[in-house]
Amino acid sequence: MTQTHVDLILDRIYANEQAYADQIFLTQPVGGGRVTDYTWAQTMDQARRMAAHLKSMGLPRAARIAILSKNCAHFFMAELAIWMAGYTTVAIFPTEQADTVKFVLEHSEASLLFVGKLDEWHKQASGVPDALPRIAFPLAPVNSYDKWDDITARTEPLAGELAREPTDLAMIIYTSGSTGQPKGAMHSFERISAAVEGIVQNFVVNLGADKKHRMISYLPLAHVFERAFVECTAFMHGQLHIFFTESLDSFVQDLQRARPTVFISVPRLWLKFQLGVFAKMPAGKLNILLSIPVLGGVVKKKVLAGLGLDQVEMAGSGSAPLPPELIRWYRRLGLNLVEGYAMTEDFAYSHCQTKDKNEPGTVGPPYPGVQVRISPEGEVLIKSPGQLIGYYKRPDLDAQSFTADGFFKTGDLGSQMPDGQLKITGRLKEQFKTSKGKYVAPAPIENRLNAHPMIELSMVSGSGFEKAYALVVLSEQLRPRMHLDNVRAEVEAELTGLLDQVNKHIADYEQLKMLVVAKEAWSIENGCLTPTMKIKRSRIEFSVQHDVENWYGKQKSSVIWA
């Protein structure tokens, strides 16, 4: 693929090291409400010392070095060290089980593992081969491994500006995958640099040049969305101050500390934020207040301040579809929320809404340099400057994943509007056929259901039955009150009305027979969500396979309690 020339990311990092030496780059909570700040100079000093240590270990040329950690300052430092030492990063989701940790380490032939902030290390440690060397970040669980601080204290920093070839592998990103074994997408320095340069230019267009911004890093860094839009963008932009979170429980305080000016999230969290607002003020009352002149402006500021988002100049959502009604709700509050679309395979550089092309329900036009077309089957095909160079050790997947002229087959169904905005209508593989022989695309129907304040998540299914059904997870605020008869009756009445409303707006062959209320919430821990909070359809469908016939047999009610 032809690349327009951009500086490689490491070159830009070295320039930022000089230009912003004394500027705070990373802010890491260390417990008890305390934080440690790292300037650009301090960050690079730590990374250079670790890079020198890695080079002294005699690792194989182009060795893969793994990181298993929640987001933290030392993840950034470790990636920088790996790159400067001449190696390739392999990041593992911090929530993965031991068997997946083992698979990724063995499949990538990792030569070393950085162990960082983790909640379940006691369950994951068995997946690490005994002979694999390990280095512990300062915030790692108690361990006997060589410590980061000890190594950097005794090691002189790597001098100079060690360059990498454009075609060198910068990282292998293993997809979390909603089905099957993870796949390793290989990304070279020239391609991640091209993608991130495009993202940085988008920042400049929307927010202006030479202005310092604050971001909070909390979505998994092992995922391409956070890696590209937060870490690598910060590496190339230079004028971003990155804050990290201490824990899930402290997230609100961490957000208030950061007061981000740029904030990205995933649909489930945007929905949870909204439900949190509704728990304090019913949606109807809030709508009335927002419509009152002057007072409405005060209420908007108060709601956003309560979320810690009152300083946000640009907010983004990705990873899964966002209900259009939710985008409109946030924009009504005054939050500049835009939706984008991309994937691991194009290093998150594909589509994003702009100031003048931001229709809710679309993901905006393609980024500069991105080519897109729709196949005869309705599949979105993408050729991006950030495109992967292939799947690690999987030439069979490479052959399946690209068209003859080099477009990546996304697996997503979509259509283009006349002005170039892209509308995603579902996943090719998620479509299922009812007994009437008609195909149903779940995503648009789920979007309608997820927009309701009582629903946190939903899954539309029903292959082989006359009509589809939807399994729904109630909101976090409602679930503890389901033992109360009056609350349950209210929920049932509300969901009955929702079912009627949704069915009125979709084709007759897509209409739902019933809504089934799930027994328990879906989570990463119980295997029903990926680390980026997308639902694992096959896992959820498998868990209810013996109940579905019984649900269809209950003819009297359109709302069923699983």
Tens-place pLDDT, residues 453-474: 899 999 999 988 889 999 999 9
The tokens of 512 are what? 């739902």
pLDDT of residue 249: 86
- Continuous H helices in 317-423: 324-332, 395-401
pLDDT of residue 7: 87
Tens-place pLDDT, residues 291-347: 998 999 999 999 999 888 999 999 999 887 888 889 999 999 999 899 999 999 999
Strand partners, 29: 35
Confidence of residue 1 (pLDDT cuts 50, 70, 90): very low
What percentage of the chain has pLDDT greater than the value 90? 72
Mean pLDDT of 407-420: 93
Mean pLDDT of 380-401: 94
Following DSSP, what letter does each residue of 395-458 receive, concatenated?
HHHHHHHB-TTS-EEEEEEEEE-TTS-EEEEEETTT-EE-TTS-EE-HHHHHHHHHTSTTEEEE
What percentage of the chain has pLDDT greater than the value 70? 98
Task: Quote the Cα angle for 478-483-486, to 5°.
Answer: 80
Tens-place pLDDT, residues 515-553: 999 999 999 888 898 887 888 888 899 899 889 988 988
pLDDT of residue 180: 66
- All structural domains of the chain: 9-26+47-210+221-230 (3.40.50.980), 432-561 (3.30.300.30)
Compute the distance between CA of residue 435 and CA of residue 431 in angstroms, rounded to an integer. 13
Supply the pTM of this predicted model: 0.87
Compute the distance between CA of residue 559 and CA of residue 320 in angstroms, rounded to an integer. 26
